A = this chain, B = another copy of it.
């Protein structure tokens, strides 16, 4: 399991790379810490503390916070510091709606660009997913699920959309288990994924788009009831 989005779109490949060297290493490490949940939502992020923790200067931490704020992972208030941003239930739903729209489009593009090799890889992931469901391993399933979708993003070859959807995902990561853990969901989810692969293999753009829409719309619905149930508790 571990972090979150390895393949398609690293945190934000826009600029400042070279890892270990430059100053953006603080950004990457802080980001990872937040996404992995090592900081609680709403937890205060004191610059001096972070600087000590990550062995960086306050300047670097500051830049990282500005960046994470713009990215939506952190909330900064003037003179009052930064906290890990808590995304509300309402917002999580909005994010998921956007994801539906974007992945739909990505599926359509993927259908016209997909190669036999890609299809083989997708089927392979699908098999592994089946195994995890049978083994009753929701965590492993969830990880493969991510791989599945990321693979489609890569095939679609649409950098803008992929970056956006990856960013949104890291914002709403806290909600990802609420859907899979619903009863009966894994089986149904599996069938939906199978239909997506089927449509992609046929290079049928319209059907691929529809299948993805169908799949993610159900995820949204599931999330809605999960949240409703979670609230009246």
Complex: A17 Cα to B77 Cα, angstroms: 9
In the bound complex, residues from chain B placing their C-beta under 8 Å from that of A21 are 78
Number of copies: 2
Quick one: which of B12, B18, B63, B94 contacts A160, CB cutoff 8 A?
B94
Known pairs A63-B66, A78-B22, A101-B101; A161 contacts B94 (CB<8 A)? yes
Chain A, residues 62-104, CB within 8 Å of chain B (1/0): the string is 1100110111100111110000000000010011011011101
Q: Is the CB of B18 within 8 A of A98?
A: no
In-complex Cβ contact of A91 among B12, B15, B105, B160 (8 A): B160
**Contact between B98 and A12 (Cβ–Cβ < 8 Å)?**
no
Residue A229 CB within 8 A of the other chain: no
Q: Which of A15, A17, A76, A168 has the most CB of B within 10 A?
A: A15
Interface residue? A164 (CB, 8 A): yes
**Interface check A16, CB cutoff 8 A:** yes
A118 to B181, CA, bound (A): 41
Q: Which residues of B contact A105 (CB under 8 A)?
A: 97-98, 100-101
A22 to B78, CA, bound (A): 7
Complex CA gap A101/B160 in Å reads 12
Whether the pair B159, A16 counts as a contact (CB closer than 8 A) is no
Task: Tally A residues with Cβ within 8 Å of B.
Answer: 40
Partner of A77, one of B15, B23, B76, B79: B15
List of B residues within 8 angstroms of A75 by Cβ: 14-15
Nearest-neighbour CB distance to chain B for A88, whole angstroms, equals 11
Q: Point out the residues of chain B lying under 8 angstroms from A78, CB to CB.
A: 15-18, 21-24
Q: A76 touching B15 by the CB < 8 A rule? A: yes
Question: Contacts A67-B66, A70-B71, A75-B14 known; A98 to B102 CB distance under 8 Å?
Answer: yes
The reply on A42 being an interface residue by CB < 8 A is no
Residue of B nearest to A79 (CB): B22
Q: Are A159 and B15 also in contact (CB < 8 A) when A66-B63, A78-B22, A101-B104 are? A: no
Residues of B within 8 A of A18 (CB): 78
16 A-B interface contacts by CB (under 8 A): A14-B72, A14-B75, A16-B76, A22-B79, A24-B78, A62-B63, A66-B66, A66-B67, A67-B67, A94-B158, A97-B109, A98-B105, A98-B160, A98-B164, A101-B101, A164-B164
